Amino acid sequence: MYRRKRSYGGFANALQETDSLFGGTLPDAGSSGGTEAPAPFTVRGLNELVNDALTGDDRLQHVLVVGEVSSLKISVSGHWFFTLVQKDGRSTYQLRCVVFSGTAQHKGLTPPQNGKTCLAGGAVNLYTVGGEYRLVVQSLQLTGEGAKAEARERLKRQLYAEGYMDPAVKQAKWKLPVLPERIGLVTSPDGAAVRDIVRVARDRWPGVRLLLYPVQVQGSAAPTQIAEGIRFLNRHHLADVLIVGRGGGSKEDLWAFNEEMVARAVATSKIPVITSIGHSIDMTVADFVALMETATPTDAARLVVPDRNTQAAAIRNQWLRMYHAVRSQLDRVEDRVGRCRRSPYLQRPDKLLELPSERYDRVWERLAHGLPRRVEQLEYRLARSREKLPAALQACLYVAADRWGRVKSRLPEGRQLVEGRERQWQELQRRLQAAMDQQLARDGNRLALQAARLDGVSPLAILGRGYSWTKDATGRLIRSVGQVRWGDTLVTQVGDGTLETVVQDIHRDTLPQPGEQILPARPQAGRRET
């Protein structure tokens, strides 16, 4: 992967090129050694020489190292310092690593946790001040379980931001049916989960239909099959509710339900989804986006399938409540019917007319006495208005004439103006006279209208049209033949006078009311009515 530009054979040449750093010369690489002692290195010189050798090799400037993170520290300046550790039997190999703050901010790196396995990429150099051999990290990512966990958390955050984990959104989107007819199962046909679901469903509601879409629940093909099973049941509307899950297992065995395609298939399902994956402590991404999650497949079946005994008891209770409600309503209706039957108004309907008849008589009397008085008042007010109007008009004319005289005397030179004012005065006098005539005409019309209305409702006018009323000797108005007897003297009021009559015969056009006494039309033989 990396191209070698310089061989380790050039290490001696690099040492010879930097002999000025040591205060002396180095022996020739090809010589066998002489009597002359080599010049000593300084610590700085040696460290810089080694660093130059390390940085001069391109293979060491682009390396990838896998190890377990240990001793992570973040300085005040923002730099990261940690150690990559590899255990091999009894030996533990370590590599010092550093991530500078600028690199972390620019590339968006996240500090790893101790104990996580990471893949670090960067360049190897020597920290000349401390004399530490280290890896300057440019890229850092988790591997193995750590990478999966990070991907899982990233997927959870994304689905939460899209609203798929909001309980309110899920409750508004999905409604768990009270009595589902068809239940879709997306699980392995060979697992214990499907057998538990079938057993519980048959015990609780034998008539429920179970549709199994067989899938693998672990392995590389499991996510695709599970997602396709959910989409297939949705596409063909084959179920009222879905149960997706499997039995217990390791985290690796349950990882298919943490894949994005499975989580999105559950989240976008139009059919309510109940998950039952692993044990109660296992929570996958599919559990977070489903309508509900259960600890075991048995709990999922109990949640979805209603108990027939409980439903039967509920139906009986509802029937009893409905029966008692209808019975109570019928009792109330029967009581109302009984009260109506016993009502005197229904037994004697004529009593309903007694009060309105009395009110009509009182109103008629008030109208007969009050309307003429009202007409007199209006006539009096009209007469007074006619009397006051000429005087008021004359007063206005006097005032206007006086003003006109004063103006005319003051403005002898304004003859034209005076003539104009004179014409205006004449016009105003004419308009005032016309308005007075119109007002008198309107008042006369109103008076005639009131008189016509009074004449229309006057008892005398009604009598003049051919009607009459009859009273007995006591002055009581006769409304029914049941109020008179043979031989009674009656007074009849007509338009131009009164008539006294004696009852000789009685004819009834309608049947008598219950309990009403029927008087004989004529006295019986041998008897004389007194």
What does the DSSP assignment read for 129-186? TTTEEEEEEEEEEE-THHHHHHHHHHHHHHHHHTTTT-HHHHHHH----SS-SEEEEE
- 208: amino acid identity, one letter: V
Q: What is the number of other CB atoms lying within 10 angstroms of the CB of residue 155?
A: 18
DSSP lists the bridge partners of residue 125 as 134
- Our CA angle for 169, 293, 315, nearest 5°, is 85
Q: Which is nearest to 148 in space by CA: 281, 267, 258?
A: 258
Q: What is the pLDDT of residues 433-451, one digit of tens each?
A: 998 889 888 888 888 888 7
Closest C-alpha to 239, from 185, 297, 294:
185
495 pLDDT higher than 80? no
pLDDT at 4: 39
Tokens for 449, please give them.
């209208």
Average pLDDT over residues 241-249: 87
pLDDT at residue 482, rounded to an integer: 78
Task: For residue 295, give Cα distances in angstroms to 147, 153, 182, 249, 275.
Answer: 27, 21, 22, 13, 9
Q: Which two tokens stand for residue 91?
A: 């030996």
Tokens linked to 389:
């109007």
**More confident position, 189 or 37:** 189
Of the listed ranges 30-39, 132-141, 447-456, the one predicted with least confidence: 30-39
Render pLDDT for 123-161 as a digit per residue (tens, 0 to 9).
998 888 888 888 999 888 777 555 666 777 788 888 888
Residue where the block lists tokens 């690489």: 29
User: Could you give the percent of the chain with pLDDT greater than 90?
Assistant: 18
**More confident call, 195 vs 17:** 195
How remote is the C-alpha of 406 from its chain's centroid? 83
Residue scoring higher pLDDT (303 or 47):
303
Note the pLDDT of residue 6. Answer: 41
- The residue among 434 and 115 whose pLDDT is bigger is 434
pLDDT tens digits, 349-382? 777 777 787 888 888 888 777 778 888 888 888 8
Tokens of 267: 């989240």
Check whether 19 has a pLDDT greater than 90.
no
pLDDT, greater one: 503 or 518: 503
The pLDDT value recorded for residue 528 is 41
Whether the CB-CB separation of 513 and 350 falls below 8 Å is answered with yes
Report, as an integer, the average pLDDT of 274-302.
85
pLDDT over 90 (residue 210): yes
Give the contacts of 274 (CB within 8 A, at least 6 positions apart).
241, 242, 243, 244, 290, 291, 292, 293, 294, 300, 303, 304
Instruction: Kindly give the pairing relationship between strand 182-187 and strand 63-74.
Output: unpaired
User: How many CB atoms neighbour CB 229 within 10 A?
Assistant: 22
Interatomic CA distance for residues 171 and 176, integer angstroms: 9
Task: Answer for the pair 239, 183: CB distance below 8 angstroms, yes or no.
Answer: yes
